[in-house]
Amino acid sequence: MRLRFEGPIWYWRGPAPYHFVTVPPAEAAAIAEVAPVVTYGWGMIPAAVTVGATRVTTSLWPKDGAYVVPIKKVLQDAEHLDVDDIVTLELEIDA
C-alpha cells in the first residue's frame, strides 16, 4: 500500500520527545483495513516514509482512533524540518 498526504509536524513532549505528522482520516481508514495483517503488536504498523529525497523506516503509532507518523531525527536533519512545517509524506506499508 502506498499513500501520499501532507500535514503539519507536531511535537509530543512525553517521557521521550517525538515529532509526528497525523495521518488524515481517509488514509487512516485505509490503513485500518490492513492493520490486522501488518501490525506487530500494540497496533504498531511498520512502514517506510519518504519526505523530499529522504526515506526512512519507522512504525506508525495508533492514536485517538487514527495513526501518527514519527518524524525521525535523521529525517528532520536531512530535510531541514521543524515543528509546524507542512510536509508531504509518501508512506509505504507492505500489505
Arithmetic mean of pLDDT, 73-84: 96
Phi, psi of 42 (to 5 degrees): 55, 20
Give residue 95's pLDDT.
77
d(CA 95, CA 88): 22
Report the pLDDT value the prediction gives residue 10, as an integer from 0 to 100.
97
Provide the grid cell at 77. Answer: 536533519
pLDDT for res 9: 98
Q: Give pLDDT, residue 42.
A: 86
CA dihedral 20, 67, 94, 17 (to 10 degrees): 30
For residue range 2-27, what is the model confidence (pLDDT) as tens digits?
999 999 999 998 777 799 999 999 99
Which domains are present in the chain?
Answer: 2-92 (2.40.30.100)
pLDDT band at 30 (very low <50, low <70, confident <90, very high): very high
Contact 25, 31 (CB under 8 A): no
Residue 39 DSSP code:
-
